[in-house]
Structure 1
Amino acid sequence: MKSKRHLVSLAALSAVAVLSLSACAGGGSTGGSTNASGNYNISFIQGVAGDEFYISMQCGAEAEAKKLGVTLNTQGPAKFDPTLQKPIVDSVVASNPSAILVAPTDVTAMQAPLKAAASAGIKVVLVDTTVDDPSFATASIASDNTGGGKSAFDAIKQLNPNGGKVLIMATDPGISTTDARIAGFEESIKADSSFNYIGVQYSHNDPAEAARLMTAALAKDPDIVGVFATNTFAAEGTATGVRQAGKQDTVKIAGFDAGPAQVQDLRDGTISALVAQQPALIGADGVDAAVAALKGETVTKNTQTGFQVLTLENIDTTGKDYVYKSSC
């Protein structure tokens, strides 16, 4: 990005790397298809195809599957939409895999189809997102999203020590991860009277819509000082809207996720901080959980992986390994 004239030191934040907890896996009867040698067939259903977060998760899952000698097949919907993901889940269940790794696109809409998969004897491992009642799942593996939302507020606060108006640019309600990030951010900002929280805008996971909403928000409240963008597409669109309004020097954006476009916005000065997850680790842990469950081993039911706050100060050093991949 451009020079970071207004970037207050965030070195302390970059130390907020929540070390990932190791994920064992297991529990329950073996089910689904295997060949004679025990080569389990695992299906990974992404939240959306083509997103660097899920590509990075796929890379981690593929590497772990290769190491363990199991087969991994990956597919995902064109949009983060339960009406597009459910037919994929139904088709995968009909093929009777040994296990499914899945990032549910809605906490309610994906409950029944995934529970049906588990009832059919398929091990279901929830990765990244979850559902209303995940008790049927073998394991759930995700980032500390609430903590990440709190760290995003800390970043904005350090950049705006005098407070001011702040909003959130999100995707859609009903997505477990972004709902948790919003909750963490809101908990922190509501405890600080120097900030005026003006609410959440929902961009439907569409960068163009996020840009439009951001432009409109700045026209209504030109004195906005900070924005928390809750995922890759929200951050991309928010950055575009801020650039279009010529507000790069006054509006500080803390984004969640660290795809190549977001990192470039960080380098260019449009985004001030990125909360980067560990999607490759989530994918690897998901495969470990599925295989251990199929072998009848003990499972860690819920695992939280860590995150790292990326800034210009650490993007080329301790933060470089947290940048998401566009291909494996």
Structure 2
Amino acid sequence: MSTRTVRTLGLVAAAALLAACGSGGQIGDSGGSAPTAVKKMVLIPGVAAEPFYISMECGFREAAKAAGYEVDVQAPAKFDAPLQIPIVTGVLANKPGAVLIAPTDDKALAGPMKQLKDAGVKVVEVDTKLQDTSIAESSISSNNAQGGKKAAETLARLVGDKQGSVLVLNTKAGTSTTDARAKGFEDAIKAFPNLKYLGQQYTDNEPDQAASKVTATLSSDPDLIGVFATNLNTGEGAATGLRNAGKTGAVNLVGFDASPKQVQDLQAGVVQALIAQDPATIGKTGVEQAVAAIEGKEVKRNIETDLVAITKTDAAGSERYFYKQAC
């Protein structure tokens, strides 16, 4: 064997040794004990560009970075299962360590989310959840039934002894969070005999539909005295409907969530109360449970975060609950 051949083989061996030594050096890894995929985490919110989910993303990013995870956030353009399902299946191809997801339908997302689980990806539900409780490691959300109860009690306090009818504007049937809010409201409003419950109407999570349903209800029920909107989009739409009908303030509007626009409407008297969640804590807690699942530690199956009723008089002390438009 020639000296040149020996030199060449030595260089090849050295290169191979360097490649082997560098194979475990991903961010946040200790000694290469975990494969690269385990150090990646994905958040799939219910819809893009919504302050609630942006605030959740901020909490998610901060907590995941602190834990040494690379992150990705992919959201559908609308709160719609057919738009969210391809995102879930696309994420599966990269097989991250964990996926935090707000399923847009409590049945339709079960199949795609089970595919994640079967592939070894840890699944954590944030905000919304499936009916099937066997798929996710943990579910983190607000106590939504309690939120609906708070909405009914707050509305009754705003109305006082006046008599009239009240309406609930919901998003889409099969959305676990808003359905729980509507049910909580329905159960609690029975305690106030001066208020006639008109039931709930669905808006497909579109503000313009919420506005038109408020207008139509005012025509059929001129004694409408209160509206409970179960999420951000229905709340903003309901405010528009009341404004267009010249009923701002005359009809008490209780919204759910605290987007910048909703807070502005609250301070301007367009909205009389907001039931605000703590989405950043939901995102942060979701990361904590995902990391625990990945590391084989104890995971808490169901976690409920705080929410609060905010009126114009106490808005100044509730800034921590106001949602963000960017991290």
TM range (shorter): 0.7 to 0.9
Aligned to 1:327: 326
Alignment of 1:227-306 (within 5 A): 227-306=227-306
Deviates more, 1:307-316 or 1:97-106: 307-316
**Structure 1: which amino acid aligns with 2:200?**
V
Residue pair 1:235, 1:255 contacting (<8 A) in 2 also: yes
Report how far residue 191 of structure 1 moved: 3.3
Aligned to 1:113: 112
**Structure 2: which amino acid aligns with 1:260?**
P
SS of the aligned residue for 2:249 comes to coil
CA distance in 2, matches of 1:118, 1:192: 46
Report how far residue 166 of structure 1 moved: 0.2
Aligned to 1:129: 128
Aligned to 1:196: 196
Report how far residue 243 of structure 1 moved: 0.6
Report how far residue 240 of structure 1 moved: 0.4
SS of the aligned residue for 1:287 comes to helix
**Structure 1: which amino acid aligns with 2:133?**
P
Is residue 2:239 matched to residue 1:219?
Answer: no
CA distance in 1, matches of 2:80, 2:97: 25
Residue pair 1:142, 1:304 contacting (<8 A) in 2 also: yes
Report how far residue 270 of structure 1 moved: 1.1
C-alpha RMSD of matched pairs (Å) = 1.2
Residue pair 2:48, 2:77 contacting (<8 A) in 1 also: yes
Report how far residue 37 of structure 1 moved: 6.1
Aligned to 1:7: none
Q: Deviations over 1:31-53 (max 9, x none)?
A: xxx96364610010010000100
Aligned to 1:186: 186
**Structure 1: which amino acid aligns with 2:111?**
A
Aligned to 1:56: 55
Deviates more, 1:291-300 or 1:308-317: 308-317
Alignment of 1:60-209 (within 5 A): 60-162=59-161, 163-209=163-209
SS of the aligned residue for 1:288 comes to helix
Residue pair 1:314, 1:320 contacting (<8 A) in 2 also: no
Q: Which has the larger radius of gyration?
A: 2
SS of the aligned residue for 1:73 comes to strand
Report how far residue 63 of structure 1 moved: 0.6
Report how far residue 313 of structure 1 moved: 1.4
Residue ranges of structure 1 left out of the alignment (5+ in a row) = 1-33
CA distance in 2, matches of 1:196, 1:110: 36
Aligned to 2:44: 45
CA distance in 2, matches of 1:132, 1:94: 25
**Structure 1: which amino acid aligns with 2:246?**
G
Counting matched residue pairs gives: 294
Residue pair 2:51, 2:259 contacting (<8 A) in 1 also: yes
Residue pair 2:145, 2:180 contacting (<8 A) in 1 also: yes
Q: Deviations over 1:195-254 (max 9, x none)?
A: 111111111111111111111111111210000000000000000000111111310011
Deviates more, 1:187-196 or 1:245-254: 187-196
Residue pair 1:281, 1:305 contacting (<8 A) in 2 also: yes
CA distance in 1, matches of 2:182, 2:311: 21
CA distance in 1, matches of 2:285, 2:319: 21
SS of the aligned residue for 1:56 comes to helix
Residue pair 1:146, 1:185 contacting (<8 A) in 2 also: yes
CA distance in 1, matches of 2:123, 2:315: 35
CA distance in 2, matches of 1:213, 1:293: 44
CA distance in 2, matches of 1:134, 1:250: 43
CA distance in 2, matches of 1:249, 1:125: 40
CA distance in 2, matches of 1:184, 1:166: 14
**Inter-CA distance 37–70: structure 2 relative to 1 (3 Å threshold):** farther
CA distance in 2, matches of 1:76, 1:55: 10
Q: Deviations over 1:273-299 (max 9, x none)?
A: 000000000000001111111111001
Report how far residue 190 of structure 1 moved: 2.4
CA distance in 2, matches of 1:256, 1:325: 15
Report how far residue 264 of structure 1 moved: 0.8
**Structure 1: which amino acid aligns with 2:312?**
L
**Structure 2: which amino acid aligns with 1:262?**
Q
Residue pair 1:104, 1:129 contacting (<8 A) in 2 also: yes
**Structure 1: which amino acid aligns with 2:151?**
A
